[in-house]
Amino acid sequence: MKLLITGAGGLYGSKLAQLALERGFEVYSSDIQAQSVYGKSVKLDVSVKAEVNDVFRTVKPDVVVHAATLTDVDKCELNKHLAWAVNVDGTKNIVEASKNAESFLIYISTDYVFSGEKGYYVESDSPEPVNYYGLTKLEAETVVMQNLAESDFLIARPSVIYGSTPAAGKVNFALWLIETLRKGERVKVVTDQWNTPTLNTNLAEMTLEVIERRLTGLYHLCGATRVSRYEFAKKIAETFELDKSLIDKASSAQFAWPAKRPTDSSLDTSLAQRILQYKPLTLDEALERLKAELSQKKA
Ligand SMILES: NC(=O)c1ccc[n+]([C@@H]2O[C@H](COP(=O)([O-])OP(=O)(O)OC[C@H]3O[C@@H](n4cnc5c(N)ncnc54)[C@H](OP(=O)(O)O)[C@@H]3O)[C@@H](O)[C@H]2O)c1
């Protein structure tokens, strides 16, 4: 099966490409910088329609996982034009090309489509983003839903992705915290933002099941445990036997972020728990997995 991944140089896309190759997929890893080490590397800027059409003409993918996104929430707030071009127009290009090629599309969305006033959101809850990143991701969901037949797509919403390898030149929260605490440096972590953190490996495995079973619709595919960022940090420190006392409590008001963050955008994973064989992992399970992956890398 030919699998085209957009944003394949990123934290999630690179893990998906790695696992898909292991499962025998023919993997085309596309990214704006053609930086993937897994599968056939393809340079693709999703916001350029002609490039998207060329790649689809050449690859003729059976399945497309569209993860290419301007993920920097503050950059989206400050450069709305770019955020719209990549996140919305880019998705329009991918949707149109998928339709023409009769490919099955998985669109990777986010918990940030929600306002964060309630928490434990289910798939049927009404989205109401509080920042421009969330707005563009919600608009992209609408583009997918309005232009493809129900049998031809699935929208997956993860939440705070982390993993064992730096990707797209960025270190994710878990790796950053482990490195910083190992150096004995103090960190400030907010107590007033809640999510359901998602190990990239767990999300990639759930995605592959979606592809293999051709599941459709809207799913919250993320970790099973709701935690504040501070609790997440403490759990990481405990799992990796690092000094928890270096973690100081902070509130969001102490940070002058250009983009507002939802307070509690945690997602309810009951649907995925019921339907999938690869379940959303609890935080303890996922952190043990992260630890195993990191020690495998060292060996
Ligand atoms: N990370 C999270 O905490 C989180 C939480 C919820 C949902 N999500 C969603 O999960 C998906 C994957 O996120 P991730 O953490 O893997 O993100 P990531 O590491 O930032 O990867 C995204 C990739 O897309 C690339 N990209 C940016 N603009 C592009 C363009 N115009 N054309 C093609 N590629 C482009 C990026 O390249 P550059 O790095 O060069 O820009 C990067 O390699 C995204 O859809 C994101 O919205 C992420």
What is the pLDDT tens value at each position of the chain, 299 positions in all? 999 999 999 999 999 999 999 999 999 999 998 677 899 999 999 999 999 999 999 999 999 999 999 999 999 999 999 999 999 999 999 999 999 999 999 999 999 999 999 999 999 999 999 999 999 999 999 999 999 999 999 999 999 999 998 887 788 999 999 999 999 999 999 999 999 999 999 999 999 999 999 999 999 999 999 999 999 999 999 999 999 999 999 999 999 999 999 999 999 999 999 999 999 999 999 999 999 999 998 77
Domain-located, residue 246: no
> What is the Cα–Cα distance from 265 to 198, expressed in whole angstroms?
13
The pLDDT assigned to 34 comes to: 67
DSSP 237-271: HHHTT--GGGEEEE-GGGS--SS---SB--B--HH
Q: At what angle do helices 173-182 and 229-239 cross, to 10 degrees?
A: 60
CATH number, domain containing residue 58: 3.40.50.720
| Cα of 184 from ligand 1 centre, angstroms | 30
**Number of domains comprising the chain:** 1
| Cα of 7 from ligand 1 centre, angstroms | 6
Domain-located, residue 50: yes
Is the shortest distance between the CB of 55 and ligand 1 below 6 Å? no
Is the shortest distance between the CB of 197 and ligand 1 below 6 Å? no
> Which residue minimizes the CA distance to atom 42 of ligand 1?
10
Is the shortest distance between the CB of 11 and ligand 1 below 6 Å? yes
State in Å, rounded, how far the first CA of the chain is from the last one: 32
Is the shortest distance between the CB of 167 and ligand 1 below 6 Å? yes
Report the atom number in ligand 1 closest to the C-alpha of 173. Answer: 3
| Cα of 128 from ligand 1 centre, angstroms | 21
> Which residue minimizes the CA distance to atom 15 of ligand 1?
11
Whether the CB-CB separation of 294 and 215 falls below 8 Å is answered with no
> Which residue minimizes the CA distance to atom 3 of ligand 1?
160
The pLDDT assigned to 167 comes to: 82
Q: Which domain holds residue 153?
A: 2-162+199-225+265-282
The pLDDT assigned to 169 comes to: 78
Domain-located, residue 157: yes
Q: What's the token pair of residue 273? A: 């728990």
> Which residue minimizes the CA distance to atom 45 of ligand 1?
67
Is the shortest distance between the CB of 7 and ligand 1 below 6 Å? yes
> Which residue minimizes the CA distance to atom 41 of ligand 1?
70
> Which residue minimizes the CA distance to atom 8 of ligand 1?
110
Instruction: Please give the radius of gyration of the chain, using alpha carbons only, rounded to the nearest integer.
Output: 18
Domain-located, residue 63: yes
Separation in Å, CA 152 to CA 53, 58, 210: 18, 21, 12
Domain-located, residue 115: yes
Whether the CB-CB separation of 145 and 95 falls below 8 Å is answered with no
Separation in Å, CA 111 to CA 46, 69, 207: 22, 14, 17
> What is the Cα–Cα distance from 5 to 108, expressed in whole angstroms?
11
Regarding beta strands 227-228 and 194-195, do their DSSP bridges make them parallel or antiparallel, or are they unpaired?
antiparallel
| Cα of 31 from ligand 1 centre, angstroms | 9
Domain-located, residue 77: yes
Domain-located, residue 299: no
Domain-located, residue 244: no
User: Coil, strand or helix: which one is 76?
Assistant: helix
Is the shortest distance between the CB of 65 and ligand 1 below 6 Å? no
**Within 48-186, where are the H helices?**
49-59, 73-78, 80-83, 90-101, 132-147, 173-182
Half-sphere exposure of 61 (CA within 13 A, CB side): 31
